[in-house]
Amino acid sequence: MSAEQEAKNLLAKIERIVDRAFCEMLLRQLEAHEGPIEVKALSIRPATNKGDNYTSDMFRVSLDYVSGGREKKTSLVVKSEPLTDGIHKDMISRSTLFSTEIRMMSDSLTKMNGFLAPGQKLNGRGLYTQKENPPMLVIEDLQPLGFRMADRESGLDYPHCLLAVKGLARFHASSVALCEKEPEQKDWYRRGIFVNQPDEVKQFFTQGARSLAQEAANWPELDQRIVEKIRRIADDIYERGSGVSDCRSHDFNVINHGDFWVNNMLFKYDANNRPIGHIFVDFQLCLYSSPGVDLQYFFNTSLSDDMLLAKESALLEAYLAELEAVMKAAGCRTRAPSMAELQRMMRERATYGMVASFTVLPLVLVEKSEVKSLDEMMSSDGTYDNPAYRGKAYRKAMVRRLPKFDQLGLLD
């Protein structure tokens, strides 16, 4: 089946779910309006491009409607569990991704935003959720507010990174305040990507590491001793990630976003195209653990390689300053970590960054013409083909990073 036909079939499926009756029900809830609401025009189109999102189907719904005798327009984003049969759908349906995001959007984030100053909101409003047939969320469309994705292939420059780490600090700080007030929140977010997930998730990480070893064997500029080390640890890469994602009760812990890479954040820009605002999307992998989890993941997936080498310390300083300020303003009893403590956390979670470099960075750097869906990458017979590992940008980045990982002892 052609890509064009697949796209048409996908739209036909969501149109049967998000029909006029559904939209009128939703609008009545949003407007708290008991009178008649009539949808006059309804259009649905994909909200993301291939390669922008790997765990759900995203659609932008545009509505013309009449409410209380007045003509109105609005747009919404619908996020559903994958609708096309295959490994992708099976994996997501057996995971806890949507239940985690529904809980975050309907409870935790609302309360976390309450600890922040006006203008510092973490996310677009959740407007509607359903847990089955299919699991689905309807979310405020942030595009009309001026937010958009940055260019994932280029890697974020310093102004983008600075906004991102300050936003992350607010996310973490407000979660500390929430967990002090409601300690049970900690137990809601114990899984992330590395705990009790379907076998296909482990396969994605294992096959990714194997693919890296296979490609790196053809890189003469890389010490082949390092390639052999990658090959030896490939089958254990998922367990290595799990081992450094755990919550250590004696340490400073937060609710991590859990999937904090360039495509899970949006930026707002001024008239000169300078980033001036940052907001989070996608809360399916939230995890109560060390802030080093989010920071290592972000640094190893979303920064340009030069930025990672030159600005890591400055970004950590900016993160910590914002964390301390927001925790103080929120009246937190917990003490924020010192810089020395934060650097220790980063060292202890360095393997998390390495695993992200092995498995997520290829998806970030793959050329748009080479993007594959999870169903195209992963076959039911266990084979795996991800052209992202053959990309020039990924090769350049890993040739620089792998010796560093080796020096830190992460490949042993």
Residue 134 one-letter amino acid:
P
* Residue with token string 């936003």: 167
Tokens matching residue 304: 């340009």
Phi, psi dihedrals of residue 70, rounded to the nearest 5°: -110, 140
Which among 154, 97, 87 is positioned nearest to 368, based on CA atoms? 154
How confident is the model at residue 282, as a pLDDT?
A: 95
Q: Is the pLDDT of residue 179 over 70?
A: yes
* Residue with token string 């291939």: 50
How confident is the model at residue 1, as a pLDDT?
A: 58
Give alpha helix (H) positions in 80-157: 87-93, 97-103, 109-113
How confident is the model at residue 31, as a pLDDT?
A: 87
How confident is the model at residue 310, as a pLDDT?
A: 85
Q: Is the pLDDT of residue 380 over 80?
A: no
Q: Could you give the C-alpha distances from 7 to 44, 56, 178, 250, in angstroms and in order?
A: 12, 14, 41, 49
351: left (phi over 0), alpha (psi -120 to 50) or beta: alpha
Phi, psi dihedrals of residue 121, rounded to the nearest 5°: -60, 145
How confident is the model at residue 305, as a pLDDT?
A: 77
Which among 355, 376, 155 is positioned nearest to 261, based on CA atoms? 155
Tokens matching residue 131: 């847990």
* Residue with token string 């137990």: 187
Q: Is the pLDDT of residue 87 over 80?
A: no
Q: How confident is the model at residue 85 (pLDDT cuts 50, 70, 90)?
A: confident
Return the SS3 of 275. Answer: strand
Give the side-chain half-sphere CA count within 13 A for 382. Answer: 3
Q: Element (H or E) spanning 25, and its range?
A: helix 20-31
Weakest-pLDDT range from 20-24, 80-84, 242-246, 341-345: 80-84
Element counts in the chain: helices (H) and strands (E): 17, 10
* In the chain, where the domains are located: 3-80, 146-408
Give the side-chain half-sphere CA count within 13 A for 141. Answer: 17
Which among 195, 219, 149 is positioned nearest to 364, based on CA atoms? 149
Rounded to 10°, the helix 392-407/305-329 angle is: 70
pLDDT digits (tens, 9 = 90+) for 123-164: 999 999 999 989 999 999 999 999 999 988 888 999 999 999
Cβ atoms 182, 72 nearer than 8 A: no
Instruction: Give me the CATH code for the 146-408 domain, please.
Output: 3.90.1200
Rg (the chain; Cα; Å) = 22
Rounded to 10°, the helix 199-216/392-407 angle is: 90
Q: How confident is the model at residue 51 (pLDDT cuts 50, 70, 90)?
A: low
pLDDT digits (tens, 9 = 90+) for 202-257: 989 999 999 999 999 999 999 999 999 999 999 999 999 999 999 999 999 999 99
Which among 335, 258, 317 is positioned nearest to 291, based on CA atoms? 258
Q: Element (H or E) spanning 247, and its range?
A: none
Q: What is the mean pLDDT of residues 8-34?
A: 90
